[in-house]
Structure 1
Amino acid sequence: MSLESPTERSLLLGESDRDAHGAGRGSSSHIALRVGAAMYSFVMMGFFQSSLGVMLQPLSQHYSLSDLHVSLIFIAGPVGYVIGAQCSSRVHERCGQKGIAVLAPMLHLFGALAVAGHPSFVFVLGGLTAAALGAGLLDPSWCVWGASQSNANTVTGLLQGAFSVGAAAGPFLAGTVLPAWNRPWYDWYYALVAASVLELCTLLFAFRHENALKYREEKQPVGASTDVEGEPRAMLGYLATWLCALYLLAYVGTEAAISGWVVSFMIRQRDVAPSSASMASSGFWGGMAAGRFTLGIVTDRLGVELATLYYFLAAIALQLVFASVHTSLASITLMALIGFVMGPMFASGIVSLTRVLPARLHVPAVAFAVSAGQIGAALLPFGIGAFIDGLGIGLYPVVIVVLVMSTLMIWIPILRQRPTKSASHGCGNEEADEDDATTP
């Protein structure tokens, strides 16, 4: 059943006509508004994700949980994210981008309210799952939208940088500002309730004209080929797809494990005050934001494969120093440096995958690899929680070094993957180029 009435359809066509023939200045302002609104939603995703590490200690104390049980919060997030990502396309088809702009912030709002009320721990997990469900709707939706812009690299970089800024600010606000005001831990989620209301208003205003009809017309322009059956399965025939999926599983899981457990490690092992311990997590995400904004030039000069290899070696060296240094200032500084060199690693995996596979397989292959990353974000922090529950949190730095080295071992085979001609030159005679890629 169509969601647009004849009146809405005429209004949409009128709006499209104005966009085509009207004000270039107005069109630019509309794009800027949407970029700003999307960046704010990425900041919100950073708030929700990075503050989990700060909440480990207060949640454990409030609900009398073991390290193993409190680690369930690392499972709830990726489960919600994957479900949301799978539903994103259907929401677009039925409601357009406007549907994402309404539903995702509403899920953020519901999730924040559920946790702020500090009911039983089961309901807290449900709230965190709902918030992650909203992130799963937002992340791929705005990334695809950003990639469709004429200045796609700039827009995409702004979105990813905004996430890192939110991820850096979250631990500082939740772990430093609130305790300084003598506020309980759950007041942070009341703050997120207010921020989610603002997110809903800004996204709805910015994407108010992006309904289902407009989305379907843009997705399937006149004359476009619809013969895509079987395409998603073809990417599974490439070894590069599986290597990149395994790489992102390890990398994203390591990233989540570092930020998720470093606050507890600093408090329990190095006797650092909670406000100072939260700065370690903020430093990690702040360094990551700086790395994503600045290291692109280095990566372009050296090549993604070689540059990423250097980033790994630097990260391992810094982790070894972190394990041997015990002062709080040095630990926070080292966390920031570790985040800085690890910042470009996620994009490196995506870039390498798109260079190897034919262009027609980029979207399904990247979606598959990113989903594997979310699985890693659930499994590795949870696994560390189970590990330190039995052997003690003092082994946290050693486990992180092992995880980074393992991720490096997965990256090395990716260096040996040869690009297909169709991947190098875009669309072309892809059937003739299939043998140029390494397959399982």
Structure 2
Amino acid sequence: MTDPIIPQPHEPVPPILEDDISVKSRPSQTNTGPEPRATEGNDTIIELTRLEYSSKPSPVTAPTDVEARDTPDGGPRKSPYVQMAAICLSLFLAGWNDGSTGPLLPRIQQVYHVSYGIVSLLFLSSSLGFILGGVASVYFVGHFGFGKAMVIGSLIQIVGYCIQAPGPPFPAFVIAFFLNGFAESLQCAQANGYVASFKVSSSKLGLVHCAYGTGALAAPLVSTQFAQLPRWSFHYLVSLGVACMNTCTLLAVFRLKTQDDCLREVGEEVAERGQSKDNVYKQILRLKAVHLIALFMLMYMGVEVTIGGWIVSYIIKVRGGGSSSGYISSGFFGGLALGRIGLLWVNKKLGNRLAVFLYIVIATGLELIVWLVPSLISGAIAISLVGLLIGPIYPIVVNEASHILPGWLLSGSIGWIAGVGTTGAAALPFIAGQLAQEKGIWSLQPLLISMMVSMTLLWLIIPKGHQRVE
């Protein structure tokens, strides 16, 4: 006869804290009667549960995905496309300003009764404004910051258009060109330095300079019509409206913030600071590459604006064009805008160095056609193709500069380069006007071709930079 099975008293399980396991996993606190002894399997389950909960990361220390995207001021990361749109509007206005002069130039000569030499004072005045704006841009960004410098430039441009709109005496018109040159140089320097600071900058630079070309394309379409009206100077009322829109947009988007703050808002890395305690001007001016690139940009922008500013007068006087010749200037700037976007894939295939070299060489050949082939139609087509080919050069060079120059000096260096470059945008048209006064307007083409050959040679000695991954 077997012994009867005597129930064994329940052995208590070590207490399990609420933090370790859920209430659902906790053993019951009340005994309803004799229970079987806890098996080894139950102990294993309890231990695994304890490990599972103890291995979970603390919710306090684990950064969330949202926090990783936050900007320094606590807000969510912003889209860079809003900033790019604001900069594109600023560059559109710069192109509009430069593209307006060519079709209006013959009418300005007629109204003020001035010669080629005197009317070219407009370009000289603008040149002085560009020089001062380029030099001042380094000071402005250091003392006021990117956002404030952009707004200051846009406000000065509003003042310039207010002077031009009523058709003032010629000296006041010259002063207005100075103000617009200063304002445009200041904004372009800041915009180029800012966009070049983006990690992937080549396509963005092409986009903003396409906006410049679009403005330069649209302006002659409007100014050609105003040039035939009694109130020709009312063209600058249209310019004033665009300038006011530009100021409001810059205020709303950048809100007077520094460049570093604006870059952080869109998730871009901020360049490290240099260790040198020297003045920023001294650090920039010690860089040989800065001066070579600046000289190249001086020639390039001089060629670009000289073609846009004087080609209408050349076509009218040398090729017998009529009052609609102003549209040829639109064709040039239209090619400029198209080239900065349409040739991006070619730039990527050829590389920056080879692309710039080939574009200049082919454009020089087309300029020879304009000079030597006595045909209005072939000249107009060639001028449009010249615009198409030289259009990508500016953004390519700025992008190349971002590979060559130190990151902490990039914005100031681009400001200096743009300031010196835009000097050529006013100085070379002034020289062209003086030559036209002495020798005739036919001298425009030999001047342009000599500048293009000089650009080709200079490009070959500019140092190569490291290739940034984009």
Q: TM-score range by the shorter chain?
A: 0.7 to 0.9
Q: Which of residues 206, 209, 234 in structure 1 aligns to 2:253?
A: 206
The structure with more helix, counted as a fraction of residues: 1
Alpha-carbon RMSD across the aligned residues, in angstroms, is 3.4
Q: Which of residues 116, 122, 130 in structure 2 aligns to 1:81?
A: 130
Tell me whether 1:384 sits opposite 2:432 in the alignment: yes
AA of the residue aligned to 2:378: A
Tell me whether 1:42 sits opposite 2:91 in the alignment: yes
- Cα deviation per residue 1:370-422 (whole Å; 9 max; x = unaligned)? 333122222211111111111111232233222212222222333xx465xxx
Residue 198 of structure 1, CA deviation? 2.1
CA distance in 1, matches of 2:435, 2:273: 52
Tell me whether 1:168 sits opposite 2:239 in the alignment: no
| Contact 1:83/1:133 (<8 A) preserved | yes
Q: CA distance change for structure 1 residues 316 and 41 in 2, over 3 Å: closer, same or farther?
A: same
CA distance in 1, matches of 2:287, 2:138: 25
Q: Provide the secondary structure at the position in 2 that maps to 1:56.
A: helix
Counterpart residue number, 1:431: none
- Aligned residue runs from structure 1 range 1-400, under 5 A: 22-23=75-76, 27-28=78-79, 31-92=80-141, 96-149=145-198, 151-175=200-224, 177-179=225-227, 182-208=229-255, 210=257, 227-229=276-278, 233=282, 236=285, 239-275=288-324, 277-356=325-404, 362-400=410-448
Identity of aligned pairs, percent? 25
| Contact 1:102/1:200 (<8 A) preserved | yes
- Cα deviation per residue 1:148-188 (whole Å; 9 max; x = unaligned)? 4465444333211111110111112101x3357x4532111
CA distance in 1, matches of 2:146, 2:312: 37
Q: Provide the secondary structure at the position in 1 that maps to 2:232.
A: coil
| Contact 1:247/1:349 (<8 A) preserved | no
| Contact 2:128/2:178 (<8 A) preserved | yes
AA of the residue aligned to 2:242: A
Say how many residue pairs are matched: 399
CA distance in 1, matches of 2:157, 2:310: 23
Unmatched runs of 5 consecutive residues or more in structure 2: 1-68
Counterpart residue number, 1:6: none
CA distance in 2, matches of 1:396, 1:217: 47
TM-score of the pair, normalised by structure 2: 0.75
Q: Which region of structure 1 is more displaced relative to structure 2, 346-355 or 279-288?
A: 346-355
| Contact 1:78/1:374 (<8 A) preserved | yes
Q: CA distance change for structure 1 residues 408 and 124 in 2, over 3 Å: closer, same or farther?
A: same
| Contact 2:137/2:412 (<8 A) preserved | no
Q: CA distance change for structure 1 residues 360 and 225 in 2, over 3 Å: closer, same or farther?
A: closer
Q: CA distance change for structure 1 residues 311 and 59 in 2, over 3 Å: closer, same or farther?
A: same
Q: CA distance change for structure 1 residues 34 and 322 in 2, over 3 Å: closer, same or farther?
A: same
Q: Provide the secondary structure at the position in 2 that maps to 1:252.
A: helix
Q: CA distance change for structure 1 residues 91 and 354 in 2, over 3 Å: closer, same or farther?
A: closer
| Contact 2:103/2:326 (<8 A) preserved | yes
- Cα deviation per residue 1:188-243 (whole Å; 9 max; x = unaligned)? 11211222222222222223363799679999989966644266545655654443
Rg larger in 1 or in 2?
Answer: 2
| Contact 2:284/2:413 (<8 A) preserved | yes
AA of the residue aligned to 2:307: I
CA distance in 1, matches of 2:464, 2:236: 47
Q: Which of residues 388, 392, 413 in structure 1 aligns to 2:461?
A: 413
Q: CA distance change for structure 1 residues 141 and 264 in 2, over 3 Å: closer, same or farther?
A: same
- Cα deviation per residue 1:102-160 (whole Å; 9 max; x = unaligned)? 42222222111111122211100111111222212211222233334465444333211
CA distance in 1, matches of 2:260, 2:452: 46
CA distance in 1, matches of 2:282, 2:236: 41
| Contact 2:303/2:428 (<8 A) preserved | yes
Q: CA distance change for structure 1 residues 36 and 324 in 2, over 3 Å: closer, same or farther?
A: same
Q: CA distance change for structure 1 residues 354 and 44 in 2, over 3 Å: closer, same or farther?
A: closer
